[in-house]
Amino acid sequence: MSKRSEELFERAKKCIPGGVNSPVRAYRSVNMNPRFIERASGDRIIDVDGNEYIDYVCSWGPMILGHDHEAVRDAVTKAVKDGLSFGAATEKEVLMAELITDMVPGIEMVRMVNSGTEAVMSAIRAARGFTGRDKIIKFSGCYHGHADHMLVNAGSGLMTQGIPGSSGVTEGNAKDTLTAGYNDLNSVERLFDSNPDNIACVIVEPVAANMGVVLPEEGFLQGVRKFCDKNKALLIFDEVITGFRLSPGGAQEYFGVRADLCTYGKIIGGGMPVGAYGGRRDIMEVISPLGPVYQAGTLSGNPVAMAAGLAVLNILKNTKDLYPDLNKKSDEFFSEAEKILTASGVKHRINHIGSLGSIFFTDNVVSDHSSAGKSDTEMFTTYFKYMLENGIYIAPSQFEAMFISVSHSKEDLSKTLDVIRGFGK
């Protein structure tokens, strides 16, 4: 039952556009009304009607340790007692910057912001300021937040709603954004060849996670790096999803490919509103007050968010077997789900890397935006409703990721597999 959720949604629609503050939460792509969440702990999330679910959304990724982790909660509680916001420099900002530059290869300086969208917007501005060039290359199906110049052939909610871009984005804003095909190096080369000396940067999700999870094919990231070097353009890794999830050093460490700039989101705030961008010292020094590229924010480096993020990153850095154990149980989970769905005859493809994955309802290999878009969204709607009714909370969209956390127990992973088994019958 979801009586109170239904009541809240009716109230919300009267004062919030669509009744939600982020489009995919509306459940429109699965023909339902949203559940309103009251609290969460570990790998469980509880809605306002008291329904409890095993959570595989994990606040869209950052809850790698699980909800309400004791160390994070204690750090936030302590920070709150000192004040919520100062709009001034704090020691915690320095500690966070030192920690990130220590953990991530290639990041020599970092600037805190308030969201992944703001991080991407700022990193691209820095790339343009550093190179003196205007155009950027992104990849079809990759989502980099809702800044105007990024809403071109984007993924995430734009895929589920069938929106090709966004009203309100001017032609002038979009004209300098060029789109290549994910896993298609030839398309990258063509764009460089047709825009000589005018491309400032290439931005890419090193693992695409906003058209569902799509892995980079062997040599793809390395090839993009080579094209950037050849054409004196910068390479930006959007690690809002992959940062500190694949490994302590993120995708750069995992794949052994060095980016010039990286962007981060929620995970460095322990799930609180936060973002960051960082990279080579010479690039970051173009940012005000050192250089001519202006970027500012009253809440950047918020002390409470920094306290939460420091607690998370220190655990990720200092817990020896955390990533091997998390990736092992995730590999086992997705492998067993593969066996179950194959035996049931349900058409599907499972893409996963470490604790990040997606189940696509299609016979096709899913390697780019086009192949992801061939998935059976009606089948996904049936699957989503079945999972929710059986206590499993996944993203209400075929084109979002599934996250496994440290707190997901063997018993809950097994229970989830039993529910998938029931769906296949």
Domain boundaries in the chain? 3-68+321-423, 70-318
pLDDT at residue 402 is higher than 60: yes
DSSP for 2-50 reads -HHHHHHHHHHHHHSGGGSSSGGGG-GGGTSPPPPEEEEEBTEEEETT-
143 is catalytic: yes
3-68+321-423 and 70-318: same fold? no
Q: Which two tokens stand for residue 142?
A: 């990759």
The position carrying tokens 């058209």 is 211
Q: Which fold has domain 70-318?
A: Aspartate Aminotransferase; domain 2 (3.40.640)
266 is catalytic: yes
pLDDT, greater one: 415 or 1:
415
pLDDT at residue 164 is higher than 80: no
Render pLDDT for 285-332 as a digit per residue (tens, 0 to 9). Answer: 999 999 999 999 999 999 999 999 999 999 999 999 999 999 999 999
* pTM attached to this predicted model: 0.93
- Residue % of the chain over a pLDDT of 90: 88
3-68+321-423 belongs to CATH 3.90.1150.10: yes
Render pLDDT for 207-241 as a digit per residue (tens, 0 to 9). Answer: 999 999 999 999 999 999 999 999 999 999 999 99
- Going by DSSP bridges, is the β-strand pair 135-139/109-113 parallel, antiparallel, or unpaired? unpaired
Of the residues 176, 238, 368, 412, only one is catalytic, namely: 238
Render pLDDT for 75-94 as a digit per residue (tens, 0 to 9). Answer: 999 999 999 999 999 999 99
Spatial distance between the Cα atoms of 132 and 382, rounded to a whole number of angstroms: 50
Spatial distance between the Cα atoms of 107 and 258, rounded to a whole number of angstroms: 9
Of the residues 56, 92, 176, 266, only one is catalytic, namely: 266
- Going by DSSP bridges, is the β-strand pair 392-393/52-55 parallel, antiparallel, or unpaired? parallel
260 is catalytic: no
pLDDT at residue 387 is higher than 80: yes
Of the residues 27, 56, 143, 383, only one is catalytic, namely: 143
pLDDT on residue 277:
97
pLDDT, greater one: 13 or 170:
13
pLDDT on residue 152:
61
pLDDT band at residue 155 under the 50/70/90 scheme: very low
